[in-house]
Structure 1
């Protein structure tokens, strides 16, 4: 059975471009490019050469990288 690539975002969701996504995460657009190339970063939708993000995915990525300073870490406070 062949997998089909979804070419649209769910109804009612507006895509975030890389500049807006970078602004929301407090990183540079080039950080997003490098993270995507390494298979990291928030989930992305690709439409040809254009990459867009869903706000929900960007928020989930940010939450997954949250560091709680009240919880001791084995890496010296780094996540």
Structure 2
């Protein structure tokens, strides 16, 4: 992984959570409920790093178990055709 600012790192993680959640066919609401929340605000805000909101390590552990993915998948950088990072 290349050097990222803290905010870019949070955006990368949020983007990967959203991508994996969608690949599993799970809505933000369903994921939120399975995490014990009553609304989508935590998940939706953290997926896009809205107002600095981001997932905690505990959240990521929980999400990885719910989605049945490796927690490391949240930290993978995506590169576009030009070899540039995409967040």
TM-score (norm 2): 0.30
Structure of higher CA gyration radius: 1
User: Whose helix fraction is larger, Structure 1's or Structure 2's?
Assistant: 2
Structure number with the bigger relative contact order (C-alpha 8 A, sep ≥ 6) is 2
TM-score (norm 1): 0.33
